[in-house]
Amino acid sequence: MPQMAPINWLSLFIMFFIIFLMFNMMNYYSFIPMMPKSNLINNNKLMNSLNWKW
């Protein structure tokens, strides 16, 4: 029956949208930044920049 086609499209849209959200959340929360290493590099650059060379 063609009258039921919009319900099918809506259910497919909701299903694909939920899969899209789950995929994005999995990618977002699987990333682990390396903060301590970059923090040490920034501290060394700061200490080197404070030494004046005349």
Q: Give one DSSP letter per residue of 1-54, joined into a string.
A: -GGGHHHHHHHHHHHHHHHHHHHHHHHHHH----HHHHHHHHHHHHHHHHS---
pLDDT at position 19, please?
97
Indicate the number of domains in the chain. Answer: 1
pLDDT, tens digit, 9 for 90 and up, residues 27-38 = 988 877 776 655
| CA neighbours closer than 13 Å in the CB half-sphere of residue 44 | 6
Domain housing 39: 2-50
Global confidence as pTM: 0.49
How far, in Å, CA of 11 to CA of 18, rounded? 11
